[in-house]
Amino acid sequence: MHNSDKENQKTPSDRTDEKQDDSLSALWQAQPVTAINLEKVKANLSSERKKQRCYMVMDSLMVFPAIYILAKYWGNMSLVAQLMFVFMLATSLPLLVYQLWLRRVAAFYKDSQTADHLMQLTKQVKNNVKIAFMTKHSTWVAVVFGFAFILERYFLGDLAPEKVIKLIIVISSMSIGMLIWYVWAHKRQKRFERQLKTLEAMAQQH
């Protein structure tokens, strides 16, 4: 695949993150040892604040589909399926709270805090590495639960053969989607790790 083809496949979010990465690298290389352009660091932190606030809203909204399914189909579920859903909610909600906490640094920083822009941006990028790591590994966990649900339906549910086939198609499609998500999250984790190294190098110069 040519480089131009790879560029065409990148999402707007990927391009934005890469531009920020390049901006940080260029900023570090351009600064003398005694000076760091805090205005550019502040601009990057301001951009990060907007993104983290959007991510916090999207993360929170992801809980509602699971609660809706649980409330609507609870009476039709077997005891095993009910326990599976309760376990998923019991583990996912604390992780959601932790992920929102990791996003707080940039999401709630104040423009008046002029002395520690570089430190705040470094903290948020370090948290972004953790978030990308969690996102990456949540993909295979979702696939495991998907297969477990199919097995529960197959052995404990009263399913017609055509419904079993539909479930297999659904879980196969989900597995492909989760694989793509895993690769995407892995690339984001590596990008944030590069950004973190750049910011730490800038802090050592400052």
What local confidence, expressed as pLDDT, does residue 129 receive? 96
pLDDT digits (tens, 9 = 90+) for 150-188: 888 777 766 677 777 888 888 889 899 999 999 999 999
| Tokens representing residue 157 in the block | 């549910």
Report the domain count for the chain.
1
Range in 84-93, 154-163, 185-194 with the lowest mean pLDDT = 154-163
| 69 located within any domain | yes
| Tokens representing residue 22 in the block | 């390049």
- Please answer whether residues 192 and 125 qualify as being in contact, where contact means their C-beta atoms are separated by less than 8 angstroms: yes
| 7 located within any domain | no
| 3 located within any domain | no
Taking Cα atoms as reference points, which of 33, 18, 19 lies closest to residue 203?
33
| 8 located within any domain | no
| Tokens representing residue 155 in the block | 């052995």
What local confidence, expressed as pLDDT, does residue 199 receive? 86
Q: What amino acid is encoded at 75 in this protein?
A: G
Please compute the mean of the pLDDT values over residues 67-88 and round it to a whole number: 85
What local confidence, expressed as pLDDT, does residue 156 receive? 75
- Please answer whether residues 87 and 66 qualify as being in contact, where contact means their C-beta atoms are separated by less than 8 angstroms: no
| 1 located within any domain | no
Q: Computed over its alpha carbons, how large is the radius of gyration of the chain?
A: 21
H runs (alpha helix) in 12-160: 12-30, 38-61, 63-73, 79-107, 117-156
| 141 located within any domain | yes
With 80 as the cut, is the pLDDT of residue 67 above it? yes
User: If you count them, how many residues does the chain have?
Assistant: 206
With 60 as the cut, is the pLDDT of residue 30 above it? no
pLDDT digits (tens, 9 = 90+) for 108-144: 887 655 557 888 889 999 999 999 999 999 999 988 9
| 153 located within any domain | yes
| 73 located within any domain | yes
C-alpha span between 54 and 16 (Å, rounded): 15
C-alpha span between 141 and 171 (Å, rounded): 13
What local confidence, expressed as pLDDT, does residue 134 receive? 94
Q: Which domain holds residue 73?
A: 13-205
C-alpha span between 115 and 126 (Å, rounded): 19
Percent of the chain with pLDDT over 90: 31
Supply φ then ψ for residue 76, to 5 degrees.
-95, 0
What local confidence, expressed as pLDDT, does residue 188 receive? 94
Please compute the mean of the pLDDT values over residues 188-202 and round it to a whole number: 91
62-71 per-residue burial string, b: 16 or more CB within 10 A, e: under 16: eeeeeeeebe
The mean pLDDT value of the chain amounts to: 80
Read off the pTM: 0.75
pLDDT digits (tens, 9 = 90+) for 94-109: 999 999 999 998 888 8
